[in-house]
Structure 1
Amino acid sequence: MSNGTAQSASAPAGVLQIIDEHGVMLERTPWFPSELDVGAECYRVVGCIGSPLSGKSSLLNDIFGTRFAVSHARATERRRWKTRGVSAALAANQETLLVLEIDGGDGGATGQQLQERCLRYVSSVSDVVLCNVWYHDLGRYDADPQWYLSTIVRELAHAEGPLLRTCVVFVVRDADADTGADADTTESTASLIAESLWLDAEEHWQREIGDGAASAPTAASHSVEALRAALELRVALLPSPRTSRSAYDAAVQRLRRDLLDGSGSGSGDGGLLSSQYSKGLPADGFGAFSRRLWEGIRAQPAGAMRAAKPLAMRVATAAAAAAAADEGAAGEALTPEALAAAYHCDAAFSEALRNSAEELGELASQLDEGEKISGFGRRAEELLQKYLSGFESATEAYAGTEVRERKLAELETVLDASLQSLFLKQLQIIRENALQHFKTASSSEEIPGDFAFYTADALFQREAEESVRPGSDWSYANERSDLQQTMAEISARRKQLIHVQIQAAEQQRQAMQYMQLQQAQLQAVQQQQYGGALGNWNIGLAYRPPDTNVNMSLLHQQGRTQVQLSMVPDEQAGLLGPNGFTSGVGPGNLGVSFNINI
């Protein structure tokens, strides 16, 4: 950061960090060069909030074609996430559609205050706010959905003058249990959740206008009807992309149509991002207005409120009312016994999740450090049965009720999904160990490559089988296939390397033979040159005077002449020939040698 700006040096192309982790807003205006071309035309603004690693960036990129950075959790890397402010980007091919994302979020006091201020800013300028929440968080009174809703309602309750309309869409992630059903059931579930959220919003509203009546005179004049006129709550259910990518993509496309096209949104032409929710902020003045608004928000004390009536109880109550209506009992009041069963089953459900989180966290920490968990499948089954049995014991008084059976099945689904995510981490560690075993074994010339392949595959299969929870539908087929493919590629590259080495050795041998042939031809040429006029003739002469030890020799070979004089005693004359030159050729005792090379 330089000159008081909040521009991030590491932000992707087309993405600006307009508020940094210190709460400093980007000073430059306009934010984007296209703002000057758009001029006074109003921005359509969509904001997105949610917990870290919940898929906010991926969701925005899929819907609007933006390029927000996507975070990936690695098994070997442990990260500490913190609030980093707000990032902004323009939707692809739409110069008047501004997308805002609140980055990160932690549990610290400073981070919570910054996150609340960022949420107040985003909800104030956005036409539509996307609240990215987890499905299992809907059953917790202190979870993110309640906090987001209470903060947005508080901002409306203390607004001066007429209330501007805002649409809040709770994007419920990993809602596989309901999105896998038919369209009518999915729509019914979303409607029940939306109605429960409305009950929470009205409760927050009554609290805020009651608490703020003395300090904010305008707040007391805002009735519940004014809230319903200003705030529209919607729910979009998204399945997990890990379990059904096609279903997830289809749900995202439906949400895109509701936001941009209006197909099925009931909001008329233009979708939810239409003029009925517009704040009327011109593009060329949006940056300056945002800066004044942010300075006012920073000057106010942050009062994050997370206390709210449990949402899960209202969801259960609404579900029970819907079930009664289906049976022809519409309009009849729910019995106290049914309400008590819903409340206690939900409390036991939340307690089981809270208690299991610690054990799951310990297992996750061990896996994050790259350490394999021995007998993971058996431990997973024991942990699952432990908390299912605890839930059954805590709700034994309501045995046989529909709400108990539903919450028990939901608890099993949530725990199984959490354990399966750890199972996938376990498989990655087992795969790396098996691959290392293969590399070590195949590097030895004494161990055949096929033997190393099959032993590594058998090692992976044995340990992966031990990691599968008994009775589950967990599978390691994809990871095993990936391991086999990787080992096959390594073997193929190794065979190719050996083949190249053999070819290189053969080429080197042929080169040596060629060099030897060239050397022999060169020697033959040299011999011809050294031979002079005599060509290939070699002549040698030797003479020993009678009765002396004097030996004289003359040698002419390859164009060179050599004369040698030596004295050899008589007792060694035998070394000079069979007769020692004492009875040589002719009367002069002359020794002659004559050689010719053809």
Structure 2
Amino acid sequence: RLRRGAVCLVASAAATLAFSLATPRRGLAATPAVEGSAEPAVGSLNVPAQFATAMAEAWHNVDALGSQVDRQGIIVHFGRYADAVVQRALKIAGAEGEDAAGLEQVLDAPLRALFQQQLQTLMVRAADQYEATLEKRPNPLEATWAAEKAFMDGAADLVRPGSGWSFEAEHQDLLARLKDSYRRDSRIVEEQAKRGQGKQITIEVIRKLQQQAAAVQREAETRGAFPWNVKWQYFLDNSPLGFRGQYNQGRSVVELLLMPSPDPRQKKNILNRIGPLNLAVAFDMLL
């Protein structure tokens, strides 16, 4: 706050000097030497009272906008508020022509600084918009468009009308960041789409990495398994009960089979009424 006040004081003095120099009738007027005085003739700076009032109110308004930017990050319709500060100062000062241009130039400097400060915040929020859009729908291109639109709309709202302020540099910086994010997330989405066999999926990179880590751990644990692939089955004589199994590189599956007997005499057998039925149990068998 002290630094901003110092800047305002210096700028106010500069504006006052520029105003007085640009206005011959209000400029430095020679003061004749007073008879009997030891002091030489000096110049006196005559500044209209309305000009000083306009500058004091303008700096107060600029300081208020700066405090609001510090609290909120971005002021909606900042461009309009900034222009209102300038236009009111011009009206109070009654400045026209070169006087008005000089006053506007002095006020434009701190307002432009607030504009650029908000652009940086807007870039961060646009990046957040990209991530939020990607969370809802795994489409990096759509997320890029949404982020850029959010930035462009917000930046246009910050520009003071007639000021010539530009946000093209920040726009290009944002596009470069979005381009990197687009390439990264496009590869992730493509890979997940292949593994998901075309089903709609969401961007959950951490969960995917956890699944991949679990798969690697499982592969490491099964390295001690017998490198066999065996299938077998067994049915009890004169019984609908049977067993079937398979062993494949450490993974075993055993099934209990309940098949209805074709014998008419076994029609009312409780096992015939339950079947057909398959119950399977899977487990790992390692060395």
> Match for 1:385: what amino acid?
Q
Alignment of 1:529-548 (within 5 A): none
Structure 1 partner of 2:120: 428
**Secondary structure in 2 aligned to 1:472?**
coil
**Secondary structure in 1 aligned to 2:163?**
coil
Q: Is 1:378–2:69 an aligned residue pair?
A: no
Report the Cα offset of residue 457 of structure 1. Answer: 0.6
Structure 1 partner of 2:256: none
Q: CA RMSD in A?
A: 4.8
1:138 is aligned, of 13, 19, 24, to: 13
Report the Cα offset of residue 516 of structure 1. Answer: 8.9
Counterparts of 1:135 and 1:516 in 2: how far apart (Å)? 77
1:486 is aligned, of 177, 181, 189, to: 177
Counterparts of 2:226 and 2:89 in 1: how far apart (Å)? 87
**Secondary structure in 2 aligned to 1:466?**
helix
2:143 is aligned, of 435, 452, 468, to: 452
> Match for 1:490: what amino acid?
S
Structure 2 partner of 1:391: 93
Structure 2 partner of 1:350: 52
Report the Cα offset of residue 507 of structure 1. Answer: 11
TM-score normalised by the chain length of structure 1? 0.28
Structure 2 partner of 1:477: 168
Q: 1:500 to 1:519 in 2, by over 3 A?
A: farther
Q: Is 1:437–2:129 an aligned residue pair?
A: yes
Structure 1 partner of 2:61: 359
Report the Cα offset of residue 462 of structure 1. Answer: 1.2
Structure 1 partner of 2:228: 521
**Secondary structure in 1 aligned to 2:102?**
helix
> Match for 2:13: what amino acid?
L
Report the Cα offset of residue 508 of structure 1. Answer: 4.5
Residues 305-345 of structure 1: per-residue CA shift (max 9 Å, x gap) = xxxxxx949x9479969x99xxxxxxxx8599xx99x6234
CA contact (8 A) 1:139 1:312 kept: yes
Structure 1 partner of 2:246: none
Q: 1:355 to 1:334 in 2, by over 3 A?
A: same
Q: Give identity over the alignment, percent.
A: 23
2:159 is aligned, of 453, 456, 468, to: 468
- Structure 1, unpaired ranges of 5+: 1-50, 55-105, 108-131, 141-310, 325-332, 396-403, 525-541, 543-573, 576-598
**Secondary structure in 1 aligned to 2:75?**
coil
Alignment of 1:7-26 (within 5 A): none
Counterparts of 2:8 and 2:118 in 1: how far apart (Å)? 27
Structure 1 partner of 2:253: none
Structure 1 partner of 2:244: none
CA contact (8 A) 1:378 1:470 kept: yes
Structure 1 partner of 2:109: 417
> Match for 2:79: what amino acid?
G
CA contact (8 A) 1:384 1:412 kept: yes
Report the Cα offset of residue 466 of structure 1. Answer: 1.8
Counterparts of 2:110 and 2:188 in 1: how far apart (Å)? 44
**Secondary structure in 2 aligned to 1:519?**
coil
**Secondary structure in 2 aligned to 1:369?**
helix
Q: 1:343 to 1:412 in 2, by over 3 A?
A: same
Counterparts of 1:468 and 1:388 in 2: how far apart (Å)? 19
Q: 1:318 to 1:335 in 2, by over 3 A?
A: farther
Alignment of 1:290-305 (within 5 A): none
CA contact (8 A) 2:133 2:146 kept: no
> Match for 2:131: what amino acid?
K
Counterparts of 1:499 and 1:507 in 2: how far apart (Å)? 21
CA contact (8 A) 1:139 1:350 kept: no
**Secondary structure in 1 aligned to 2:46?**
helix
Counterparts of 1:448 and 1:475 in 2: how far apart (Å)? 30
> Match for 1:136: what amino acid?
A
Report the Cα offset of residue 406 of structure 1. Answer: 4.0
**Secondary structure in 1 aligned to 2:87?**
helix
The number of aligned residues is 205
Counterparts of 2:30 and 2:171 in 1: how far apart (Å)? 53
Q: Hey, which of these two has a bigger chunk of helix by percent?
A: 2
Report the Cα offset of residue 448 of structure 1. Answer: 0.7
Residues 545-598 of structure 1: per-residue CA shift (max 9 Å, x gap) = xxxxxxxxxxxxxxxxxxxxxxxxxxxxx99xxxxxxxxxxxxxxxxxxxxxxx
Greater Cα radius of gyration, structure 1 or 2: 1
**Secondary structure in 1 aligned to 2:160?**
coil
Report the Cα offset of residue 138 of structure 1. Answer: 3.5
Counterparts of 1:318 and 1:388 in 2: how far apart (Å)? 15
Report the Cα offset of residue 442 of structure 1. Answer: 1.3
Structure 1 partner of 2:274: none
Counterparts of 2:146 and 2:21 in 1: how far apart (Å)? 57
Counterparts of 1:52 and 1:427 in 2: how far apart (Å)? 24
Structure 2 partner of 1:46: none
> Match for 1:360: what amino acid?
V
Counterparts of 1:516 and 1:438 in 2: how far apart (Å)? 43
- Structure 2, unpaired ranges of 5+: 33-42, 196-207, 232-236, 238-264, 267-287
Counterparts of 1:473 and 1:318 in 2: how far apart (Å)? 23
Report the Cα offset of residue 519 of structure 1. Answer: 2.9
